């Protein structure tokens, strides 16, 4: 009996493996999810008569994004008769625009924004639980971080549909890592914080400093300091979203580690904004930094020798023993002042379905990582092995509010660079580790108290 | 026909009323200024009063909040970042306005003389002022780059430095760099304003003084300066107001960093109200600057009255 059951298991295993392999191959053409679609109950929203939609979203990170998005929107119009007007804003300017819309109760029907924007005006949004559940069922489920961003405990409903994460990974020069005595293969790249520090020191010793932004760099600054804080077990707030827990030995350890890392960095990082590390890396001034895939694409276009000599890797894991990455996180939400909530939901459903979403994400060349597990097999992640670390961005990330929940307080702490400033103070020596933590604690208390 | 006859007295009465209104100087005056008052009320007074009201509330984005009295102001007084922003603003405005005044005055005196190409120089002098601030801020963003600064490159080439200068990574250097950028942008305002003042000084006064044996310093001390004071006060006050309220330059070049070392009232208010979502506190940051600006306006008003 046992023997028979084992045989069946093996057979099943082989069958499943073959199915998975063929599914992976087909996914390049969006067929994988299409196959799964037949397993899930289809959902459509009856579009209101005379409906039209205004969509506010972030400007493209890569030139292929906008044409594909607009083509998807045009096909939606063709199919439903609903005209869609898409407006673009720099990604950091979407929130102020959406805030104005939320305040005056007029503006775009749909906003595709970032982080906890929907939680700032949760009661002004159309619940999208039905759509979120449908997409989750159909496409293999959401990654763990998605409900934390999309679901509102206050509304007891999903208030936003996760769109994906412009992922951040370590960008490094292959030859310099090898020269420093380390294996540049991403699979064997330093996996622990200790080993990573040894690599950074070795790079610096050979005249190839690292560079991590410590100025008001919304993306690059926030992502690496939060990774570092969480890797050592530090966190701004407890799960109750009230108790400030930043003043802890774990935070002190994270800051001490960052100070050691700072010793390996090029001078000037304290004033760096988001573009600085891109330029320094492409100019060969630094050997290692954290960034999206944009450096690689700029290199492929203008500095092919650097593109050949660079690769990407995951952030190492700290003493907590699991990935603690932070990535930018985008989600779409619908304001309840819209006269066409069904049309808006139908539009979001349309762009998240495999045919449209697959083309869009593939077209963005790895800039955005998917939130639904079934999209892990998209062609873009197999087009170039150097894309691979970006594939798992959503799977490996924690919400910026960790260990609290997204909301006005976490948004404010992020907007005010509380954690970045704490690291900058400690690293540059403007404040002792202790004082830097206390200053951050004071600010967080105020933010979470109010 | 009867109806027409009946309506005639009504039309005549209406005409008489309108005519009476036009004859009444007070009523006519109010009618003439009403559009301007409406515009000012809608676009200046209302937003201003709303801002002041918000500063007394705990309003957030999409939440009108409730009245909290002086709570926001109390908190800000004890807030290290806000205190730093106050110091930064005072330093930034104080140093920048003085330097702009000195350089602008010197430039005005220079171009007030007759020389070949005077018109061209006067026009070129205005360039930093007319270039959009965001554009010049982007240029300074590059000039102050820690790795690719053209300024550092020049200093390296002439052998004055041997390594990169950390313009925006060091708090004091970042403040100095931003002040320098503001000075570059603001000098033409002083120069043109003071030059206009210089042009109004009657030449006969200089000729008479010269005939009495007055030297250049005496002519400046006893003729130029006293007649220029009202213009100088107005130009200085306006520049102070603009410098205290500066936003674009700081936001583009440092966003208030490193570690809040270059935050001014405007950037901090924006960060807290719009990016952070705490409208009440952000409004309170902005309202804190009111006494300074009111004092400046009062000073300018007095100077203008004296000039009249």
- Quick: pLDDT tens for A350-396: 999 999 999 999 988 888 999 999 999 999 999 999 999 999 999 99
The confidence band for B6, taking pLDDT boundaries of 50, 70 and 90, is low
Percentage of chain A modeled with pLDDT above 70: 91
CA distance linking residue A68 with residue A268, whole number of Å:
39
The pLDDT assigned to B296 comes to: 80
> pLDDT (tens digit, 9 = 90+) per residue, B125-143?
888 988 998 899 999 999 9
Domains of chain B: 2-40 (no CATH), 79-307 (1.10.3720.10)
> Going edge to edge, which strands form the sheet with A288-291?
A288-291, A169-173, A310-313
The pLDDT assigned to A32 comes to: 45
CA distance, residue A155 to nearest chain B CA (Å): 15
The confidence band for B259, taking pLDDT boundaries of 50, 70 and 90, is confident
Task: Say whether pLDDT at A116 is over 90.
Answer: no
CA distance linking residue B139 with residue B180, whole number of Å:
13
Q: Which of A271, A336, A426, A444 to mutate to test the interface with B (most CBs of B within 10 A)?
A: A271
Nearest by Cα to B192 from B132, B110, B97: B110
CA distance linking residue B265 with residue B243, whole number of Å:
11
Q: Measured on CA atoms in the order A351, A353, A355, A357, is the torsion positive or negative?
A: positive
> pLDDT (tens digit, 9 = 90+) per residue, B80-116?
889 999 999 999 999 999 999 999 999 999 998 888 8
Q: Average pLDDT for residues A72-87, to the nearest whole number?
A: 96
Q: Tell if the CB–CB gap between A442 and B170 is shorter than 8 Å.
A: no
The pLDDT assigned to A40 comes to: 55
CA distance, residue A334 to nearest chain B CA (Å): 15
The pLDDT assigned to A7 comes to: 41
In B, minimum Cα distance to A422 occurs at B259
Chain A positions touching B163 (Cβ under 8 A) are: 267
Q: Which long-range contacts (CB under 8 A, 24 or more apart) does B304-307 make?
A: B304/B230, B304/B234, B306/B230, B307/B230, B307/B231, B307/B234
Q: Tell if the CB–CB gap between B146 and A283 is shorter than 8 Å.
A: no
Percentage of chain A modeled with pLDDT above 90: 76
Nearest by Cα to B142 from A287, A277, A276, A221: A276
Contact A146, A371 (CB under 8 A): yes
More confident residue, B66 or A22: B66
User: By the CB < 8 Å criterion, does B94 face chain A?
Assistant: no
> Going edge to edge, which strands form the sheet with A330-334?
A84-89, A53-58, A110-114, A330-334, A161-164
Which residue has 């090898």 as its token pair?
A178
The pLDDT assigned to B27 comes to: 83
CA distance, residue B292 to nearest chain A CA (Å): 26
CA distance, residue B138 to nearest chain A CA (Å): 12
Residues 137-166 of chain B whose Cβ lies under 8 A from any Cβ of chain A: 144-148, 163-164, 166
Task: Say whether pLDDT at A260 is over 60.
Answer: yes
CA distance, residue B270 to nearest chain A CA (Å): 10
The pLDDT assigned to B232 comes to: 92
The confidence band for A21, taking pLDDT boundaries of 50, 70 and 90, is very low
Which residue has 């084992």 as its token pair?
A6
Contact A84, A73 (CB under 8 A): yes
The confidence band for A450, taking pLDDT boundaries of 50, 70 and 90, is low
CA distance linking residue A207 with residue A268, whole number of Å:
16
Q: What ipTM goes with this model?
A: 0.74
By Cβ distance, the residue of A102, A121, A415 closest to B275 is: A415
Task: Say whether pLDDT at B181 is over 80.
Answer: yes
Q: Which of B50, B59, B62, B81 to mutate to test the interface with A (most CBs of A within 10 A)?
A: B62
CA distance linking residue A144 with residue A371, whole number of Å:
9
CA distance, residue A33 to nearest chain B CA (Å): 38
Residues on A contacting B at a C-beta cutoff of 8 Å: 95-96, 99, 102-103, 120-121, 123-124, 214-216, 266-273, 276, 279-280, 283, 285, 408, 411-412, 415-417, 421, 424-425, 428, 430, 439, 442-443, 446-447, 450
Chain A positions touching B68 (Cβ under 8 A) are: none
Q: Tell if the CB–CB gap between A124 and B274 is shorter than 8 Å.
A: no
Task: Say whether pLDDT at A419 is over 60.
Answer: yes
């Amino acid at each position: 009996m046992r023997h028979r059951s084992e045989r069946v298991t093996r057979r099943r295993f082989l069958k499943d493996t073959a199915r998975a392999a063929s599914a992976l191959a087909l996914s390049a053409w969006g067929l994988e999810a299409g196959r799964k679609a037949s397993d899930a109950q289809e959902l459509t929203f009856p579009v209101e008569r005379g409906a039209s939609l205004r969509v506010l979203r972030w400007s493209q990170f890569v030139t292929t994004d906008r044409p594909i998005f607009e083509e998807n929107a045009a096909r939606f119009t063709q199919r439903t008769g609903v005209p869609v007007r898409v407006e673009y804003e720099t990604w950091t300017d979407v929130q102020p625009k959406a805030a104005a819309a939320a305040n005056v109760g007029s503006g775009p029907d749909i906003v595709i924004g970032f982080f906890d924007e929907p939680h700032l005006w949760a009661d002004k949004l159309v619940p999208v639980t039905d759509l979120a559940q449908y997409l989750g069922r159909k496409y293999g489920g959401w990654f763990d971080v998605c409900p934390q961003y999309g679901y509102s405990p206050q509304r007891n409903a999903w208030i936003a549909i996760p769109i994906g994460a412009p992922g951040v990974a370590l960008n490094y020069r292959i030859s310099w890592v090898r020269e420093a005595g380390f294996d540049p293969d991403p699979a064997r790249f330093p996996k622990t914080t200790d080993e990573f520090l040894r690599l950074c020191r070795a790079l610096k010793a050979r005249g190839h400093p690292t560079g991590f932004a410590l100025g008001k760099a919304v993306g690059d600054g926030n992502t690496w300091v939060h990774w570092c804080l969480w890797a050592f077990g530090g966190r701004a707030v407890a799960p109750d979203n009230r108790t400030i827990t930043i003043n802890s030995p774990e935070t002190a350890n994270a800051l001490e580690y960052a100070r050691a890392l700072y010793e390996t960095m090029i001078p000037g990082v304290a004033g760096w904004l988001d573009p600085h590390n891109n330029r320094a890396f492409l100019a060969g001034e630094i050997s290692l930094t954290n960034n999206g895939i944009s450096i690689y694409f700029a290199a492929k276009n203008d500095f092919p020798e650097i593109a050949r000599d660079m690769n990407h890797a995951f952030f190492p894991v700290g003493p907590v023993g699991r990935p603690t990455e932070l990535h930018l996180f985008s989600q779409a939400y619908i304001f309840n002042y819209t006269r066409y909530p069904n049309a808006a939901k139908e539009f979001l459903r349309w762009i998240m379905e495999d045919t449209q979403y697959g083309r869009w994400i593939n077209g963005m060349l790895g800039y955005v990582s998917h939130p639904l597990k079934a999209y892990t097999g998209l062609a873009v992640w197999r087009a170039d092995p150097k894309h691979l670390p970006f594939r798992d961005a959503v799977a490996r990330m924690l919400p910026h509010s960790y260990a609290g929940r997204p909301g006005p307080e976490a948004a404010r702490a992020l907007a005010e660079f509380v954690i970045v400033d704490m690291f900058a103070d400690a690293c540059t020596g403007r404040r002792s580790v202790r004082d830097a933590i206390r200053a951050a604690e004071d600010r967080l208390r105020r933010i979470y108290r109010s | 026909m009867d109806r027409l006859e009946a309506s005639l007295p009504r039309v005549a009465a209406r005409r008489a009323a309108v005519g009476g209104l036009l004859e009444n100087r007070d009523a006519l005056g109010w009618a003439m200024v009403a559009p301007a008052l409406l515009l000012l009320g809608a676009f200046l007074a209302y937003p201003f009063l709303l801002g002041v009201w918000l500063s007394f509330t705990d309003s957030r984005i999409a939440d009108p909040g409730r009245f909290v009295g002086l709570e926001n102001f109390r908190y800000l007084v004890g807030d290290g970042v806000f205190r730093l922003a106050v110091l930064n603003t005072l330093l930034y405005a104080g140093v920048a306005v003085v330097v702009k005044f000195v350089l602008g005055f010197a430039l005005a005196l220079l171009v007030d003389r007759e020389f070949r190409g005077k018109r061209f120089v006067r026009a070129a002098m205005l360039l930093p002022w007319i270039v959009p601030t965001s554009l010049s801020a982007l240029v300074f963003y590059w000039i102050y780059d820690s790795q690719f600064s053209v300024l550092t490159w020049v200093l390296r080439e002439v052998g004055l430095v041997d390594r990169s200068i950390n313009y925006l990574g060091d708090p004091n250097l970042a403040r100095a760099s931003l002040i320098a950028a503001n000075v570059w942008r603001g000098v033409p305002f002083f120069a043109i304003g003071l030059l206009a003042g210089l042009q109004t000084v009657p030449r006969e006064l200089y000729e008479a003084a010269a005939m009495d044996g007055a030297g250049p310093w005496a002519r400046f001390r006893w003729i130029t300066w006293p007649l220029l004071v009202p213009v100088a006060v107005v130009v200085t006050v306006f520049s102070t107001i603009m410098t205290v309220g500066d936003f674009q330059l700081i936001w583009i070049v440092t966003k208030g960093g490193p570690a809040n070392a270059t935050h001014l009232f405007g950037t901090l208010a924006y960060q807290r109200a719009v990016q952070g979502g705490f409208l009440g506190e952000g409004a309170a940051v902005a309202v804190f600057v009111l006494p300074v600006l009111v004092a400046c306006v009062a000073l300018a008003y007095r100077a203008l009255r004296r000039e009249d």
